[in-house]
Structure 1
């Protein structure tokens, strides 16, 4: 059953307020002249689409950001999307990577405009610019070093997992969390590594072997 737009709008405002500080006031100011547009836009994007279960929040935000960059949008749509991307668990480096990816398909002028907006966002939020590598990059490098023979400060169980891993699949699940699925000959992973990243370092690794 289709939900009434007023209910979607209410939920959308609440969702946006969770993602962006002073979110409801920002929405009121943006749509002060055309409140009906705010009802449609907020109800659709942050009420309906935001809660669809088919994509996790990080993937949905990355897809939305790439579409905004490709459309050449600047101003509030882009700045708000960058903020909600961070709030939904994308790391600063991942935001930058989305802009780089979009440049190849949407054109450099649009990506440069997005990069300029990123400069402002990072400055306002006190974030380093350029940002440290993405959590996935950090963990990939960590895995490569251990598999190449580096053993310092690596727990024995982690070392055993990576030494016996033919194909590590690395996936970030948050701005500081990464899961490594370790595959051998079987179609299912023989072990999992749960990694915590801070800056350019892997600060904690927990190994899990099913069964």
Structure 2
């Protein structure tokens, strides 16, 4: 989708649509958690990363989540955001094995501590994902 194709749609509306598609309820929770402290920042998160960057042509959502998971893993200190994007990766078609491989690849460039932190974050997200999938009696 190009900027010209979405000119009539606001950055905010485009961003909300992308956020919902990519992150689902996890992204919405992040935005809601900012409402009482920084509502303007919540709007910026919707407009810039999701309304502008994620909606650009050139990379699919799956590719963008690979890059995002890799970058957040490499940072080594972004566990809350990493967990949201691990979930997003699952939402856009990444397998658990692919997410684990992304983390392992980051050991080469960001070190073992960053990769380990990423793997532990993935383990938590996978467990939560499994818990949601099990029907309660």
Structure with the greater alpha carbon radius of gyration: 1
Q: Which runs of 5+ in 2 are unaligned?
A: 132-137
Higher relative contact order (CA 8 A, sep 6+): 2
Report the Cα distance in structure 1 between the residues aligned to 2:54 and 2:43, rounded to whole angstroms. 15
Work out whether residues 18 and 55 of structure 2, in 8 Å CA contact, stay in contact via their aligned partners in 1.
no
Structure 2 counterpart of 1:12, from 6, 11, 15: 15
Between the two proteins, the alignment pairs up a number of residues equal to: 126
- Alignment partner of 1:100 is 2:104: yes
Structure 2 counterpart of 1:114, from 114, 118, 132: 118
Q: Which runs of 5+ in 1 are unaligned?
A: 128-211
Work out whether residues 20 and 84 of structure 1, in 8 Å CA contact, stay in contact via their aligned partners in 2.
yes
The SS at the match of 1:53 is: coil
The structure that is helix-richer by fraction is: 2
Change (3 A) 1:106 1:40: same
Cα RMSD (Å) = 2.4
The SS at the match of 2:93 is: coil
Q: Deviations over 1:10-51 (max 9, x none)?
A: 321222122334243441114531122222222111111111
Residue 82 (structure 1) aligns with: 86
The SS at the match of 1:48 is: helix
Work out whether residues 74 and 114 of structure 1, in 8 Å CA contact, stay in contact via their aligned partners in 2.
no
- Alignment partner of 1:38 is 2:42: yes
Residue 63 (structure 1) aligns with: 67
The structure that is strand-richer by fraction is: 1
Report the Cα distance in structure 2 between the residues aligned to 1:50 and 1:38, rounded to whole angstroms. 16
